[in-house]
Amino acid sequence: MNNEKIEIRASKTKIIPMLLGSGVFVYLGLQMILDSGWKSTMGSVGILAIAFFGFGFFLFIKQLIKNKPILIIDNEGVIYQGVYISKVSWKNIDKIYINKINISNRFSIFSIKQNFLNISVKDTDQYAENQKTMLENSLVKNNIKYSDGIISIPSFLLAISLKELLKILNKKLAEYNKQL
């Protein structure tokens, strides 16, 4: 296995529209509260909008400001630095795959199609329990519940295609397994 260290950065051109969209929904949530009061139903919806989209806004700002790679691939494994920092060694990786999620409501008013690169490990429960904080533990458990992967990387976040990234990761995993 060569000593090559590969760093994948977030796509700033893909993050900016997400940041602006989050900002708009935070603003709309604030308007709901100001127009109807925070004790009303619309005010409650506004509070939820601010909390959810405000968290997204914060994460997108963080990705734009920091100059760290979102994914580091080296001889030891993979380090994902998204919402939380997660390190997975090659020996613990079970599979790496692309998962397509298609969410639509029964009235076909909206449809969300998103591709994720998922990395699953051999012992998911132990991995989830080894997270540093309760938030990280909860995020890993949700990733496991909904995608079978401890790391789920959305396509909109990366400056590289998921297919290209999958090819790189599978090559490195094969190189590691060949050494055994």
CA 139 – CA 11 distance, rounded (Å): 22
Note the pLDDT of residue 123: 79
Question: 168: how many CB neighbours lie within 10 A of its CB?
Answer: 17
Note the pLDDT of residue 46: 93
- CA 92 to chain centroid, in Å, comes to 20
In which region does residue 23 sit, left (phi positive, over 0), alpha (psi from -120 to 50) or beta (all else)?
A: alpha
| CA distance readout (Å), 18 to 11, 60, 109, 180 | 11, 7, 20, 43
Secondary structure of residue 152 in the 3-state scheme: strand
Q: Which parts of the chain have pLDDT scores under 50?
A: none
